[in-house]
Amino acid sequence: MKKVLVLCTGNSCRSQIAEGYLRHFADGSAQIYSAGIETHGVNPRAIKVMRENGIDISAHTSNNINEYMNIDFDFVITVCDNAKESCPYFPTKAKKFHYNFPDPAKATGTEEEIMEKFRMVSEMIKSYCFDFIQEILKSEVITS
């Protein structure tokens, strides 16, 4: 079974959302992990926006990349430039992918305006994760 790591700065929003969507779309065909260079806890708004999409990430934990040094990942997806630039080296044969999603945790305004930013970013991540599973993961599984 292929192992996928989603990496972000604090493992609180974007990587948590991506982990939720990747698990959903992979439907048990891959092991999905997420981590951060730091750990900031899972953002309650990320939990809320995923719940709106029928995916429960409330039991997710915020993990540090160092916790996964002994796992030989097949894929590493960085979801922010800071994680891509700051990621410590760890030995892996993983294919690396990168997309710099906006950080919804930096949104300002009313609660509804902030949630709209979370929804927008969530939709971007959802689309990326669906495509990743369809185009990358499933083709890898077929050719392996």
Residue 129 known to be catalytic? no
The DSSP call for residue 87 is P
Q: Which of 4, 5, 8, 18 is catalytic?
A: 8
Which two tokens mark 121? 């970013």
Q: Which of 79, 80, 83, 125 is catalytic?
A: 80
Asked whether the CA dihedral 81, 74, 62, 90 is positive or negative, the reply is negative
**Residue 8 parent element (H or E):** strand 2-8
Residue 13 known to be catalytic? no
Cβ-based neighbours of 137, under 8 Å, separated by 6 or more: 2, 4, 26, 29, 30, 75
Which residues participate in catalysis according to the annotation?
8, 80, 87
